Structure 1
């Protein structure tokens, strides 16, 4: 299997053995798992029988999760696809344009009260855009990337994705740079400001921060 030109990564130390495998998870496996988790959040978000307060919290957590996810993809997945996959520039540009649409839809969703009738429509729109996002990755991006990249390369990229997500924004900013090198400069700075706002407003940004649904709380009394 041939190697691929990688986005900037920490230099390897020494000369690794032919079968060397770094610790961590493949970028493809990591992002695919995140797509599944995001789909689960969407399923609960679009349930109009759910408690409105919880749906509002779900919208905030989903937004933060997706924004972190997109930020990491824009820094490492798309640049790799662009240089390593046949028709990569066209695919990367297509997904970057779709990301702007998705970020705009997330901003509209979080700006809508969960009791507002418009919330349902906007939640369904976000869920549909996210299904398209995951399907495009699973169909057009991941299979050719697995063919051209080594396991070690994908793991090194996966490690960088995890680091990027920790520093990423948690709120949608569709007008900030989405392509390297500027997104690697702007995203962490915006991410730090978002985290300050989250702390001040006590905004939940991770699934594990959410309280159990009401019916689950009753079962655990």
Structure 2
């Protein structure tokens, strides 16, 4: 493998969706949710939850892959983690205030994030990773996303291995709080 973090061995071919395809699809969903949140207050909660899950999964798998396989990957991953930290702070403001100014700030961060990843990271990863590696990483992203927090937690670990331990624990707490408050966290439930 081309310097990627170790992935468990598999018997046969890897099946599933590419990490890049999954994250790219989520970027489109985040753009759509930013627009919906302008007119639908409930979409703001879904935006917060979707973005919190998305950032958690990227921090667990995308950035370590970037760091491992791209020239200057560690520098790029550090830049993205710093941008994510700013986004989590803005997301926390949106979660607690849900005002137009907070939504505009989050929307700007989301647009910058999707532009950078789609224009720079994804093409570079596609050229340096096999489709099987990207599918195996996609499988990990799906698992991480399902266990991830649904609320922003700035200041928690953003790199493996600690984020792979802390994020699922926070995810359990967040999901309990979501159930108790009947908070909508999935777009299909809007």
Q: TM-score range by the shorter chain?
A: over 0.9
Extract unaligned runs of 5+ from structure 1.
114-118, 211-221
* 1:44, distance to aligned residue in structure 2 (A): 1.8
Equivalent residue pairs, number: 190
Question: Is this contact kept in 2: 1:177–1:186, CA < 8 A?
Answer: yes
Aligned to 1:9: 7
Q: Which has the larger radius of gyration?
A: 1
1:23 aligned onto 2:15:
yes
* 1:6, distance to aligned residue in structure 2 (A): 2.4
Structure 1 runs (4+) greater than 3 angstroms displaced? none
TM-score of the two chains, using structure 2 as the length reference: 0.96
Aligned to 1:79: 64
Extract unaligned runs of 5+ from structure 2.
none
Aligned to 2:96: 111
Q: Which of the residues 151, 159, 169 maps onto 1:171? A: 151
1:181 aligned onto 2:133:
no
Q: Which of the residues 73, 76, 80 maps onto 1:95? A: 80
Q: Deviations over 1:123-178 (max 9, x none)?
A: 11110000001011011211110001000000000011000001000000011000
**Secondary structure of the equivalent of 1:67?**
helix
More helix by share: 2
**Secondary structure of the equivalent of 1:111?**
helix
Q: Distance in 2 between matches of 1:178 and 1:70?
A: 9
Q: Deviations over 1:190-213 (max 9, x none)?
A: 111111100111111000111xxx
1:39 aligned onto 2:28:
no
Aligned-pair RMSD on alpha carbons? 1.1
Q: Which of the residues 205, 210, 219 maps onto 2:185? A: 205
Q: Distance in 1 between matches of 2:2 and 2:51?
A: 27
1:155 aligned onto 2:135:
yes
Question: Is this contact kept in 1: 2:149–2:171, CA < 8 A?
Answer: yes
